[in-house]
Structure 1
């Protein structure tokens, strides 16, 4: 077995690999991922038997993932070898100071890989989107008691986020992109990133609203407290924006937030995910 960087000419090998996953995102979006990620493949002769990679965010944070192993080659430790290789390659980037990945809590094998890589559990969350029933119900929750003002200046956005980070449990995470939680740290909030985020403030609270098209057409709501479903004015803004742009609404929910759902039919979520990560000095 040998490992090398994947390229566009590997598309047919990727298509032939049997991952056992219907509508596999990594296979279907391979060419897109090549343009945005660092992807590597393990080969047995000419046969592609495993894929893994990493994506760098804000120059310092490498999110590992895209792990796939051909069904016929599972149980041989290839996934662990691939993730160790990918982490090593990520840390060769001079600016990278943190590596991590997310996995569903039911994926015991990947959790073992996190332990092998000496990555620590950071936080468990639910990821999902509002259903049509949820959008309809929450769009009707308007209240003058929850006035939200739009913040245009990036320095003001950054100050609000930093204040939130200071008051926040330091084990918590920042929902950088869909399926991409990262450490809640100021280095994430570049002007380029904040330019993409609408920001609204109400007293000591804020939320960000950001378009995300990687897995579909979504507005990603970034709110940092467990009472998101009590913020009526927030939902008036978000559902109106989503309706105007024909986007669904994506949420990252802590277990406490998920338990506060007014109705379980409002949000389509799957098994919770845990972020594992570690800083490297």
Structure 2
């Protein structure tokens, strides 16, 4: 008999017994956080008493929810359990009146996951090539330092200008982009997020500290001139001057990525796609 229910820490041993085929599953180290409301929820699909498939979702500001943490036991694959579980999650999230958008973020070459997202009614929204730089020096061609904007209202206006110019999405955190709306970045996050403006072009650079298994400086720069605009890489390098262990994490658009030539400066990773549906 097939059943679906929300998982708790009492189910950790069942998850440990799943044969997912993954050598290094980060969920084993953060399982408690992933099953702890109100931000995170994890569900399991059971075939009789065996945990066959796992998936969950996380709430983010602005009425956003992101599906993820999809895992399945090898003996139950090709049975449609993952799709069945995700349909259940989407129906569950849709019952929450505060949710305006449900998304899924998957690697470009993960065709099975993309097929599932299509079955869930989700459409492609944006593409990212996100990974850290390991050596900024070859990218620094000048010493033009961008101006930091600290006024809250000016930072909010800068975000709004991105919305006005039709920017499709904005990385709330590393691996978590969402459609850019005025409610995506709440006041408390915007206050700690740092904004730098080019003295030559007026283009804006948004950064804040992040952690995804390692300390990151999450970088958002949406313009196509990323590799040619004066001072950008010098400014980022100066921000990290006293934090040698914090890596600059870039969120390249497809156009930006196609202009990347100094690939040895980065720890390249496969590209990702944001899919989603508005409620």
- 2:126 partner SS: strand
- Please, which of 171, 177, 195 is the counterpart of residue 199 of structure 1? 195
Deviation (angstroms), 1:164: 2.0
- 1:178 paired with 2:181, answer no
Deviation (angstroms), 1:44: 2.4
- 1:33 paired with 2:34, answer yes
TM-score, length of structure 2 as denominator length: 0.92
Q: Check conservation: 1:52, 1:83, Cα contact below 8 A.
A: yes
Distance in 1 between the 2:26 and 2:68 partners? Answer: 12
Deviation (angstroms), 1:33: 2.2
Q: Check conservation: 2:62, 2:181, Cα contact below 8 A.
A: no
Partner residue of 2:231? Answer: 233
Partner residue of 2:99? Answer: 96
Deviates more, 1:206-215 or 1:66-75: 206-215
Alignment of 1:90-239 (within 5 A): 90-131=93-134, 134-138=135-139, 140-144=140-144, 147-169=145-167, 172-202=168-198, 203-239=201-237
Deviation (angstroms), 1:179: 0.6
Distance in 2 between the 1:44 and 1:267 partners? Answer: 43
Distance in 2 between the 1:65 and 1:74 partners? Answer: 17
CA 1:59/1:259 → structure 2, altered by over 3 Å: closer, same or farther?
closer
Q: Check conservation: 1:175, 1:222, Cα contact below 8 A.
A: yes
Distance in 2 between the 1:50 and 1:224 partners? Answer: 37
Partner residue of 2:265? Answer: 266
Deviation (angstroms), 1:127: 1.4
- 1:23 partner SS: coil
Q: Check conservation: 1:60, 1:98, Cα contact below 8 A.
A: yes
Deviations 1:150-169 (A, max 9, x none): 11122211101111221235
Partner residue of 2:54? Answer: 51
Deviations 1:71-124 (A, max 9, x none): 111100011011111111212222101111111122121111111111111112
Deviation (angstroms), 1:232: 4.0
Q: Check conservation: 1:142, 1:233, Cα contact below 8 A.
A: yes
Partner residue of 1:278? Answer: 277
Deviates more, 1:80-89 or 1:37-46: 37-46
Q: Check conservation: 2:132, 2:266, Cα contact below 8 A.
A: yes
Partner residue of 1:249? Answer: 248
Partner residue of 1:16? Answer: 17
- Structure showing the higher helix proportion among its residues: 1
CA 1:19/1:232 → structure 2, altered by over 3 Å: closer, same or farther?
farther
TM-score, length of structure 1 as denominator length: 0.91
Task: Give the paired residue count.
Answer: 273
Q: What are structure 1's unaligned runs of at least 5 residues?
A: none
- 1:5 paired with 2:1, answer no
Deviations 1:152-194 (A, max 9, x none): 122211101111221235xx21111111110011111211120
CA 1:24/1:243 → structure 2, altered by over 3 Å: closer, same or farther?
farther
Partner residue of 2:83? Answer: 80
Deviation (angstroms), 1:252: 1.0
Deviation (angstroms), 1:59: 4.4
Moved over 6 A (4+): none
